[in-house]
């Protein structure tokens, strides 16, 4: 017998009435049939619209461009850009294993020059009742399909946006002109993420007939900035936020990236050769690696590390085992970080001891520097011919903060509204991040503690975990992979605050190292006389 949706809803709603009204065998049998029917079809889905009808859902300043049922394993991402070659096979397999879902693509236009693209993936079956927003990298420009897939695998409704810079590329300079639009800058800064979140909740309600029980955010780099923007500007959007290595002090970060480029140009002989960066890194390891009890190529607490690069100074001529005076000056500039040359005020923190192997990408490859160059040319000066060698770390910085600071910077430490509604925030940062100094997260965390009334008050809703030996969001010899989502769920839903988290380092042959990530300012120390590759043999102190 085939039942229509209205009758299905009636039967499912009536289950409890049957139990209370009668206890006869006939009615129990009928109840059993009803229960089976309701279970198989899903009472929550029965209350909502079918996928293909979601385009009729009213959306303010936007329109649905696609609604489709994607069968299990049938989705092929339109672009594999940004996926490392070594990861492509694993990523492709993850898409092949996706369950069936309803795919909704939306374009949002809060202003006449806006063009925000969003995708919402809604599980056909097995929805866990939660929403997961996933963040971007760089200047955005693409939907984070890998993040969408990971969330869908876990049963989340997952959502991503291109941040209003659709079709925009970090390397193709012909597309940077979109930043000339103040509307696009604001969309990138914070508006696209908020509107994406609002739209996704609307489609959840339409599709399942109910709102998500909990909403979570997960992002690193630009995604970390997006997470902090949500906590600061829209504290009601998400119940739990995981953010890492955030590009949150955006205008100052752009100056920091140019600072590294200027340091690289300071020596007529050119940037420090990669071999000498390895020499410097080994010298730092020799001085600080064993401070946690074991010499393993990972510095657990760079803040307790003290090393003077002048110890490597060449006594006479340049050579492979020493640093010239110009190279030592360059190293000092990198460790010291960007400063206002007139006032001496710190613009952005510098590199951390132990991060030296990551400097090659900053000094020899123009990627991050190109990103910041385009900010100055198209977002600040609006002149594509602007020359970075004319950059003024005094007047230009003041101009950037005036013009873009309110839109692009997310550094407000007063998170009391987010705290008051029960929000939880897990921050993390790789100690060897060469692009965004980990000290920026440390400083922001300390500012939050001061703003909300002290460490004990802050500990109730925000924790910071520093990742020793880990680069920008991932990579390096340290343990860079941990279950962020379970940690934020346990804290938000069950009140289990994370004092430490277990992270692992993977190679092609599997996990080779596990370590505890300690709630800052605690750091991991080896117990001694035990396997130093196992997290269980370390304590946080």
Per-residue pLDDT tens over the stretch 129-141: 999 999 999 899 9
Q: Are 160 and 133 in contact (CB under 8 A)?
A: yes
User: What pLDDT is stored for residue 265 in this prediction?
Assistant: 86
Q: Which residue has the higher pLDDT, 167 or 116?
A: 116
Is residue 452's pLDDT more than 50?
yes
Is residue 81's pLDDT more than 70?
no
Shortest CA distance to 75 belongs to which of 118, 106, 121, 107? 121
User: What are the backbone angles phi and psi of residue 240, rounded to the nearest 5°?
Assistant: -140, 135
Q: Is residue 331 part of a domain?
A: yes
Q: Is residue 289 part of a domain?
A: yes
Q: Is residue 421 part of a domain?
A: yes
User: What pLDDT is stored for residue 93 in this prediction?
Assistant: 80
Is residue 87's pLDDT more than 70?
no
User: What pLDDT is stored for residue 365 in this prediction?
Assistant: 64
How far CA 348 is from CA of 139, 338, 370, 427, 439, in Å, comes to 20, 5, 18, 19, 9
Is residue 410's pLDDT more than 70?
yes
- Clarify whether residues 57 and 140 are in a common domain: yes
Percent helix, percent strand, percent coil in the chain, to nearest 5: 45, 15, 40
CA end-to-end span of the chain: 66
Coil, strand or helix at 467: strand
Q: Which residue has the higher pLDDT, 100 or 77?
A: 100
- Clarify whether residues 377 and 439 are in a common domain: no
Long-range contacts of 518-523 (CB under 8 A, 24+ apart): 518/465, 518/466, 519/463, 519/464, 519/465, 520/442, 520/445, 520/463, 520/464, 520/465, 520/466, 521/303, 523/292, 523/300, 523/301, 523/304, 523/466, 523/468
In three-state form (DSSP H/G/I as H, E/B as E, the rest C), the secondary structure along 160-228 is EECCCCCCCCCCCHHHHHHHHCHHHHHHHHHHHHHHHHHHHHHHHHHHHCCCCCEEEEEEECHHHHHHH
Residue range of the domain that includes 159: 52-169
Q: Is residue 195 part of a domain?
A: no
What CATH number did the domain enclosing 453 receive? 3.40.50
Which residues are bridge partners to 501 per DSSP? 517
Q: Do you know the residue count of the chain? A: 541
Shortest CA distance to 197 belongs to which of 178, 182, 179, 211? 211
Shortest CA distance to 218 belongs to which of 466, 424, 437, 422? 424
The owner of tokens 């800052």 is 520
User: What pLDDT is stored for residue 369 in this prediction?
Assistant: 75
Coil, strand or helix at 425: strand
363 confidence band (pLDDT: 50, 70, 90): confident
Q: Is residue 199 part of a domain?
A: no
E-strand ranges in 42-138 read 62-70, 101-108, 116-123, 130-134
Distance CA 34, CA 24 (A): 15
Q: Is residue 94 part of a domain?
A: yes
Q: Which of 383, 408, 433 is the last residue of a domain?
A: 408
- Clarify whether residues 455 and 374 are in a common domain: no
Distance CA 243, CA 291 (A): 28
Q: Which of 376, 408, 440 is the last residue of a domain?
A: 408
In the chain, how many domains are there? 4
34 confidence band (pLDDT: 50, 70, 90): very low
Q: Which residues fall within 8 angstroms of residue 376, CB to CB, at 6 or more apart?
A: 254, 258, 386, 388, 391, 396
- Clarify whether residues 241 and 327 are in a common domain: no
User: What pLDDT is stored for residue 172 in this prediction?
Assistant: 73
- Clarify whether residues 374 and 503 are in a common domain: no
- Clarify whether residues 388 and 292 are in a common domain: yes
Q: Which residues fall within 8 angstroms of residue 26, CB to CB, at 6 or more apart?
A: none
Q: Is residue 208 part of a domain?
A: no
Shortest CA distance to 137 belongs to which of 128, 146, 129? 146
- Clarify whether residues 257 and 394 are in a common domain: yes
How far CA 73 is from CA of 70, 92, 102, 508, 522, in Å, comes to 8, 10, 13, 25, 43
User: What pLDDT is stored for residue 17 in this prediction?
Assistant: 29
- Clarify whether residues 265 and 310 are in a common domain: yes
Q: Angle formed by the axes of helices 5-21 and 25-41, to 10°? A: 140
Q: Which of 169, 195, 228 is the last residue of a domain?
A: 169
Per-residue pLDDT tens over the stretch 506-534: 998 899 999 999 999 999 999 998 899 99
- Clarify whether residues 455 and 521 are in a common domain: yes
**Residue 315: how many other CB atoms lie within 10 Å:** 6
- Clarify whether residues 395 and 277 are in a common domain: yes
- CA angle 412–418–421, rounded 5-degree value: 165
Q: Which residue has the higher pLDDT, 497 or 269?
A: 497
User: What pLDDT is stored for residue 85 in this prediction?
Assistant: 60
Q: Are 298 and 469 in contact (CB under 8 A)?
A: yes
Is residue 33's pLDDT more than 50?
no
- Clarify whether residues 300 and 398 are in a common domain: yes
> C-alpha dihedral over 251, 434, 304, 425, to 10 degrees?
60
Shortest CA distance to 335 belongs to which of 295, 315, 306? 306
User: What pLDDT is stored for residue 40 in this prediction?
Assistant: 36
Rounded percentage of the chain residues whose pLDDT exceeds 70: 88
User: What pLDDT is stored for residue 16 in this prediction?
Assistant: 33
6 confidence band (pLDDT: 50, 70, 90): very low
Q: Are 207 and 123 in contact (CB under 8 A)?
A: no
Is residue 404's pLDDT more than 50?
yes
Distance CA 382, CA 117 (A): 25
Distance CA 283, CA 288 (A): 9
Task: Indicate the helix (H) or strand (E) that contains 513.
Answer: strand 510-518
Per-residue pLDDT tens over the stretch 435-448: 999 999 999 999 99
User: What pLDDT is stored for residue 30 in this prediction?
Assistant: 37
User: What pLDDT is stored for residue 177 in this prediction?
Assistant: 78
- Clarify whether residues 334 and 461 are in a common domain: no
Q: Is residue 203 part of a domain?
A: no
Average pLDDT of the residues in 288-298: 96
Shortest CA distance to 339 belongs to which of 437, 222, 450, 441? 437
In three-state form (DSSP H/G/I as H, E/B as E, the rest C), the secondary structure along 22-49 is CCCHHHHHHHHHHHHHHHHHCHHHHCCC
Is residue 14's pLDDT more than 70?
no
Average pLDDT of the residues in 386-410: 95
Is residue 329's pLDDT more than 90?
yes
Per-residue pLDDT tens over the stretch 235-252: 999 999 999 999 999 999
């Amino acid at each position: 017998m085939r039942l229509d949706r209205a009758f299905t809803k009636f039967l499912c709603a009536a289950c409890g009435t049957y139990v209370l009204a009668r206890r006869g065998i006939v009615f129990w049998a009928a109840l059993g049939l009803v229960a089976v029917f309701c279970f198989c079809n899903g009472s929550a889905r029965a209350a909502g619209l079918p996928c293909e009808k979601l385009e009729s859902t009213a959306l303010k300043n936007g329109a649905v461009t696609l609604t489709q049922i994607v069968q299990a394993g049938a989705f092929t991402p339109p672009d594999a850009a940004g996926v490392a070659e070594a990861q492509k096979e694993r990523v492709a397999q993850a898409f092949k294993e996706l369950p069936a879902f309803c795919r909704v693509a939306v374009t949002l236009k809060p202003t006449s020059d806006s063009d925000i693209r969003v995708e919402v993936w809604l599980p056909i079956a097995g929805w866990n009742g939660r929403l997961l927003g996933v963040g971007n990298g760089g200047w955005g420009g693409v939907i984070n399909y890998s993040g969408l897939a990971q969330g869908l695998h876990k049963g989340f409704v997952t959502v991503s946006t291109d941040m209003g810079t659709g079709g925009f590329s970090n390397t193709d300079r012909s597309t940077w002109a979109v930043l000339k639009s103040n509307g696009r800058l604001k969309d990138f800064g914070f508006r696209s993420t908020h509107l994406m979140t609002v739209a996704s909740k609307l489609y959840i309600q339409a599709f399942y007939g109910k709102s998500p029980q909990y909403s979570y955010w997960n992002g690193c780099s630009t995604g970390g900035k997006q997470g902090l923007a949500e906590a600061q500007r829209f504290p009601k959007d998400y119940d739990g936020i995981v953010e890492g290595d955030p590009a949150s002090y955006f205008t100052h970060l752009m100056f920091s990236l140019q600072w590294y480029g200027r340091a690289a140009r300071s020596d007529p002989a050119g940037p420090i050769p990669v071999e000498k960066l390895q020499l410097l890194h080994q010298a730092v390891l020799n001085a600080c690696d064993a401070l946690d009890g074991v010499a393993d190529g990972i510095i657990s607490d760079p803040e307790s590390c003290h090393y003077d690069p002048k110890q490597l100074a060449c006594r006479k001529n340049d050579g492979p085992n020493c640093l010239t005076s110009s190279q030592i000056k360059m190293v000092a500039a990198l460790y010291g970080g960007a400063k206002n040359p007139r006032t001496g005020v710190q613009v952005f923190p510098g590199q951390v001891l132990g991060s030296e192997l990551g400097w090659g990408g900053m000094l020899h490859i123009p990627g991050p520097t190109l990103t910041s160059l385009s900010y100055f040319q198209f977002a600040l000066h609006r002149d594509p011919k602007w020359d970075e060698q004319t950059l003024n770390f005094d007047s230009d910085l003041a101009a950037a903060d005036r013009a873009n600071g309110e839109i692009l910077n997310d550094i407000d430490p007063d998170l009391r509204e987010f705290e008051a509604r029960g929000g939880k925030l897990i921050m993390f940062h790789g100690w060897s991040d060469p692009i965004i100094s980990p000290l920026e997260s440390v400083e922001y965390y300390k500012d939050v503690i001061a703003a909300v009334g002290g460490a004990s008050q802050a500990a109730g809703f925000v924790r910071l975990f520093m990742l020793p030996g880990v680069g920008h969001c991932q990579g390096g010899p340290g343990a860079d992979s941990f279950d962020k989502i379970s940690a934020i769920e346990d804290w938000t839903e069950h009140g289990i605050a994370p004092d430490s988290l277990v992270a692992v380092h993977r190679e092609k042959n599997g996990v080779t190292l596990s370590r505890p990530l300690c709630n800052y300012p605690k750091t991991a120390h080896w117990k001694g006389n035990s396997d130093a590759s196992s997290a269980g043999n370390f304590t946080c102190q």
